Chains A and B, each alone.
Chain A
Amino acid sequence: MRFKDSLAYPLIIIISLVAAATLYIGYSLNLDTLRETIQAREIDKSQAIYRAVKDKIDHEIKEIVVLSQVLKTRRQLLNGLIHFYRQGEVDPLQNSMDLIYSSLQELSVDFFLITDQQGKIVYQASPPTGREDLSGVWGLEEALAGKESLSAGAGPLGWAILSLAPLSLEGKQYGVLVLGFSLSHDFARKIAAATGTQITFSTAYQILASSWPPKDRGQVNLDRVTDSILGKRPVYANNSLTNLSSFYTPIEIVDETVCLVINADTTPIAELLGQKRRQLVLSLLAVLMVTTVMGSGLAIAIVRPLKKLQNRSLAAVREFTEKDIALNRWGNEIDTLSRTLELMLAAIKSHLQDLHRTQETLRREKSFLDDIFASIQDGLNVLDLDYNIIRNNAVVEQRFGHTQLVGQKCYRAIHGRDEICEDCPCRVAKETGKASYQSKQVLIGGDETWIEIYAFPLKDRDTGEITGIIEYSRDVTELKATEKTLRLREEQLRQAAKMEAVGRLAGGVAHDFNNILTVILGECELLLQHLPEQDPMVGEVRGILEATRRAASLTQHLLAFSRKQVLQPQPLDLNQVVANMERMLRRVLGEDIVLVTNPAADLGTVKVDLNQLEQVILNLAANARDAMPQGGAMTIETANVDLNEDYVLQHLGAFPGAYVMLAVSDTGVGVDKEDMAHIFEPFFTTKEQGRGTGLGLSMVYGIVKQSRGHIGVYSEVGHGTTFKIYLPRYDLTPQDLAEPSPPPAVAAGGTETILLVEDEAGVRDVVCRMLEPAGYRILPAAGPQEALEVSRGYQGPIHLLFTDVVMPGMSGRELADRILAQRPGLKVLFMSGYTENAVFHHGVLDLGISFINKPFKYTILMKKVREVLDA
Chain B
Amino acid sequence: MVLGAICLWLWLPAPVRADVLEIPGTGACEVLLREVANAFNARHPEHRVSVPRSIGTVGGMRLVTSDQAVLVRVGRPLTPEEKDQGLTYLPFAKDLVVFAVGAKVPVRGITTAQLKAAYNGTIKNWRELGGPQAPIRLLLRQPGDASLLIIEKHLEYFRQIAFPSGAKVVYTDPDMLALLQKYDYSLGWLTLSSLEGAKTPVYPLALDGVAPSRENARARKYELLGEYALVFKERQLPRLARIFLDFLFSEEGRIIIERLGAISLPGN
Contacts of A203 in B (CB 8 A): 142, 169
Question: CB < 8 Å: which of B144, B168, B185 contacts A256?
Answer: B168
In whole angstroms, how far apart are the Cα atoms of A203 and B171 in the complex? 10
In whole angstroms, how far apart are the Cα atoms of A256 and B137 in the complex? 14
Question: CB < 8 Å: which of B53, B135, B142 contacts A204?
Answer: B142
Q: Which of B10-18, B176-184, B225-233, B255-263 faces chain A?
A: B176-184
| Nearest CB on B from A781, distance (A) | 135
**Interface status of B163 (Cβ within 8 A of chain A):** yes
Look across to chain B and name the residue whose beta carbon is closest to the beta carbon of A144.
Answer: B134
**Interface status of B165 (Cβ within 8 A of chain A):** yes
In whole angstroms, how far apart are the Cα atoms of A227 and B142 in the complex? 10
**Interface status of A139 (Cβ within 8 A of chain B):** yes
Contacts of A111 in B (CB 8 A): none
**Interface status of B59 (Cβ within 8 A of chain A):** yes
Question: CB < 8 Å: which of A136, A153, A205, A229 contacts B135?
Answer: A136
- Pair A226/B144 contact, Cβ less than 8 Å: yes
| A-B contact number at CB 8 A | 70
Question: CB < 8 Å: which of A141, A226, A232 contacts B142?
Answer: A226
**Interface status of A321 (Cβ within 8 A of chain B):** no
Contacts of A145 in B (CB 8 A): 184
Q: Mark B72-87, 1 if CB is under 8 A from A, else 0.
A: 0000000000000000
Given A153-B168, A154-B165, A230-B59; A142-B183 close (CB under 8 Å): yes
Question: CB < 8 Å: which of A149, A222, A257 contacts B171?
Answer: A257
Look across to chain B and name the residue whose beta carbon is closest to the beta carbon of A149.
Answer: B182
**Interface status of B56 (Cβ within 8 A of chain A):** yes
Query: Which of B62, B135, B169 has the largest number of chain A CB atoms within 10 A?
Result: B169
- Pair A229/B168 contact, Cβ less than 8 Å: no
| Nearest CB on B from A521, distance (A) | 139
Given A226-B142, A230-B58, A230-B142; A138-B183 close (CB under 8 Å): yes
Given A255-B178, A256-B168; A141-B135 close (CB under 8 Å): yes
In whole angstroms, how far apart are the Cα atoms of A868 and B143 in the complex? 169
Look across to chain B and name the residue whose beta carbon is closest to the beta carbon of A225.
Answer: B142
| Nearest CB on B from A844, distance (A) | 116
| Nearest CB on A from B262, distance (A) | 22
In whole angstroms, how far apart are the Cα atoms of A145 and B165 in the complex? 25
In whole angstroms, how far apart are the Cα atoms of A222 and B135 in the complex? 29
Look across to chain A and name the residue whose beta carbon is closest to the beta carbon of B172.
Answer: A230
Given A141-B185, A232-B55; A226-B143 close (CB under 8 Å): yes
Q: Mark A132-163, 1 if CB is under 8 A from B, else 0.
A: 00011011011001000100011110000000
| Nearest CB on A from B167, distance (A) | 7
- Pair B142/A155 contact, Cβ less than 8 Å: no
Contacts of A149 in B (CB 8 A): 182
Residues of A310-369 whose CB lies within 8 A of B: none
- Pair B169/A205 contact, Cβ less than 8 Å: yes
Contacts of A227 in B (CB 8 A): 58-59
- Pair B184/A141 contact, Cβ less than 8 Å: yes
**Interface status of B166 (Cβ within 8 A of chain A):** yes
| Nearest CB on A from B179, distance (A) | 6
Contacts of A141 in B (CB 8 A): 104, 134-135, 183-185
In whole angstroms, how far apart are the Cα atoms of A231 and B58 in the complex? 8
Contacts of B182 in A (CB 8 A): 142, 149, 255
Instruction: Count contacts on A: residues with CB < 8 A to the other chain.
Output: 26
Contacts of B59 in A (CB 8 A): 227, 230-231
Query: Which of B53, B56, B134, B142 has the largest number of chain A CB atoms within 10 A?
Result: B142
Given A142-B183, A230-B58, A230-B59; A153-B142 close (CB under 8 Å): no
- Pair A206/B165 contact, Cβ less than 8 Å: yes
Q: Mark B131-151, 1 if CB is under 8 A from A, else 0.
A: 000110100101110000000
Given A204-B142, A204-B143, A255-B179; A229-B165 close (CB under 8 Å): no
Question: CB < 8 Å: which of B56, B104, B140, B167 contacts A231?
Answer: B56
- Pair B167/A154 contact, Cβ less than 8 Å: yes
- Pair A230/B55 contact, Cβ less than 8 Å: yes
Contacts of A222 in B (CB 8 A): 143
Contacts of A154 in B (CB 8 A): 165-168
Given A141-B185, A154-B166; A230-B135 close (CB under 8 Å): no
- Pair A142/B135 contact, Cβ less than 8 Å: no
Given A204-B142, A205-B143; A138-B169 close (CB under 8 Å): no
Look across to chain B and name the residue whose beta carbon is closest to the beta carbon of A208.
Answer: B165
Residues of A101-144 whose CB lies within 8 A of B: 135-136, 138-139, 141-142
Contacts of B62 in A (CB 8 A): 231
Contacts of B56 in A (CB 8 A): 230-231
Contacts of B175 in A (CB 8 A): 257
| Nearest CB on B from A842, distance (A) | 113
Residues of B228-242 whose CB lies within 8 A of A: none
- Pair A153/B143 contact, Cβ less than 8 Å: no
| Nearest CB on B from A118, distance (A) | 10
Query: Which of A155, A227, A231 has the largest number of chain B CB atoms within 10 A?
Result: A231
Look across to chain B and name the residue whose beta carbon is closest to the beta carbon of A226.
Answer: B142
Query: Which of B53, B59, B134, B137 has the largest number of chain A CB atoms within 10 A?
Result: B137
In whole angstroms, how far apart are the Cα atoms of A400 and B166 in the complex? 137
In whole angstroms, how far apart are the Cα atoms of A205 and B137 in the complex? 17
Contacts of B184 in A (CB 8 A): 141-142, 145
Look across to chain A and name the residue whose beta carbon is closest to the beta carbon of B54.
Answer: A230
Residues of B14-61 whose CB lies within 8 A of A: 53-56, 58-59
- Pair A205/B134 contact, Cβ less than 8 Å: no
| Nearest CB on A from B257, distance (A) | 25
Contacts of A205 in B (CB 8 A): 140, 142-143, 163, 169
In whole angstroms, how far apart are the Cα atoms of A227 and B55 in the complex? 9
In whole angstroms, how far apart are the Cα atoms of A232 and B56 in the complex? 10
Residues of B90-134 whose CB lies within 8 A of A: 104, 134
- Pair B55/A204 contact, Cβ less than 8 Å: no
In whole angstroms, how far apart are the Cα atoms of A205 and B134 in the complex? 25
In whole angstroms, how far apart are the Cα atoms of A231 and B59 in the complex? 6
Residues of A648-694 whose CB lies within 8 A of B: none
Given A153-B168, A154-B167, A257-B171; A139-B55 close (CB under 8 Å): no
Q: List 11 A-B contacts (CB under 8 A).
A: A141-B104, A141-B185, A145-B184, A149-B182, A154-B165, A204-B143, A205-B140, A230-B142, A230-B171, A232-B53, A256-B168
Q: Apart from A206-B165, A255-B178, list 20 A-B contacts with CB within 8 A.
A: A136-B135, A138-B166, A141-B134, A141-B135, A141-B183, A153-B166, A154-B166, A154-B168, A156-B166, A204-B169, A205-B140, A222-B143, A226-B58, A229-B142, A230-B58, A230-B59, A231-B59, A232-B53, A255-B179, A257-B171
Of all A-B residue pairs in the complex, the 10 with the closest CB atoms, nearest first, are A204-B142, A230-B56, A154-B166, A203-B169, A231-B59, A154-B165, A231-B55, A153-B168, A226-B142, A155-B166
